[in-house]
Chains A and B, each alone.
Chain A
């Protein structure tokens, strides 16, 4: 069955970096994009961007350029989100989600369980 399993919670100090993994299984990794979505405590969902798992080309939403980097290790069907220069307002749950590339499947149908990143001194 399709699974996206994310790495565990992280506690970081301001200025540090974090790298979250999204390990996928049960489907052809390169047939689906991987989205990244942020949810701050008590807030709504924010689309951060996605990565084309076929080409490795990332697309970032406004507000998620510079400190945010999407990457892949296709040999183990895993996507990564790295955030540098962490600030307290980066405290959030980060989700990965796969999305199909054909018009009939352009929706995030399977999601990871979420990774809580807490930034605090």
Chain B
């Protein structure tokens, strides 16, 4: 099975800061990488699919990059409502989630 490793596990940043989360796959997954946001007590929502495609309705401050084994999710200007846990997921072979990155907005 493909393993997904995210870093960091948590971060704290101020409103307006640029934030980047990294996700690494244990083997090549081409561009089959999705990013989800989850707020406490809620179901996850998809932000990015296919490594860089922005899901409809998601603010443009979210962007995704990468291919093969290394991927990033960037929030260009952090907002208070971005406080959440973010998960990457490989969609190349079955599915696997990363362990999550908790983002706190100061």
Binding site for B on A (CB under 8 A): 35, 37, 44-47, 49-50, 59, 61-62, 95, 97, 103-109, 111-114
Contacts and interface: CB of A to CB of B under 8 A. Distances in A.
Interface stretch (B10-18, B39-47, B76-84): B39-47
A65 to B, nearest CB: 13
Nearest to B95: A47
Interface string B63-106: 00000000000000000000001010101001111111000000
Interface of B: 1, 32, 34, 36, 38, 43-46, 49-50, 53, 55, 85, 87, 89, 91, 94-100
Contacts of A104: 50, 53
B94 A109 contact: no
Contacts of B1: 61-62
Contact of B43 (A50, A107, A114): A114
